[in-house]
Amino acid sequence: MSINTESKVVLITGASSGIGEATARVLARKGHRLLIGARRADRLEALAKQLREEGGTVEFTSLDVTDLEDVRAFAGLALEKFGRIDVIVNNAGVMPLSPLEALKIDEWNQMIDVNIRGVLHGIAAALPVMKKQGSGQVINVSSIGGHQVWPTCAVYSATKYAVIAISDGLRQENRDIRVTVISPGVTTSELAHTITDPDTVKMIDAFREVAIPAEAIGKAISFAIEQPDDVDVNEIIVRPTASAY
């Protein structure tokens, strides 16, 4: 059974930094055709320019994953530019951790909107296209926080557990769509920069002392994409070797 090395049309949300940016770099260099989206269009433009200069095929657009119509337009742009959608990587996420007693309810809602609704919106936009094609792959980025809960992580972990549940339900309901969950351990990214609770900031600095580069997650995503069509890699957990978490 041969590895699937054909060029695929891949949509990536949250592609302006961290795992999304690194994944775009990995996949572009492997010859996949990309549509990248995020709220910071200026960073997307710079990334697309660099990847094109290296020979990549990359389109970009601003994207708010909490807006269903915005995500549908994102999928529509992929069809306009490339004629199909082979893979969507639902990567956009936020992580403003805090203890529940801090009652940062706006931040809870933000995590629910981006981390859960954003994934559902990506599925809603891409799944009809994939079903019509008779093939496709949905890759959802969860976290080690989707497997274990720590103090300050209750709501964040809840959203990442939800990603795993949604993904497995999608897998069971579809025999022609591949579904993959990528669960990163501590990874170099801007996620921790959204934390506003001062005690949690101190804790997370220690928690993140041992981290792997975001490229490692991009390579895991690439591995899942490149498997033969009848092989569905359902979940990959990628941690730093030295991590206790």
Q: Which residues are catalytic?
A: 156
Distance CA 198, CA 39 (A): 26
Distance CA 172, CA 55 (A): 38
Instruction: Write the CA distances from 212 to 7, 19, 25, 81, 183, integer angstroms.
Output: 27, 11, 16, 34, 13
Q: Which amino acid is at 168?
A: D
Residue with tokens 């915005």: 70
Instruction: Write the CA distances from 170 to 22, 136, 175, 219, integer angstroms.
Output: 26, 12, 10, 23
- Contact between residue 89 and residue 10 where contact means Cβ atoms under 8 Å apart: yes
Strand 87-90 to 9-13 pairing? parallel
Write down the H helix ranges in the chain: 18-29, 41-53, 68-82, 105-111, 118-133, 154-173, 198-207, 214-225
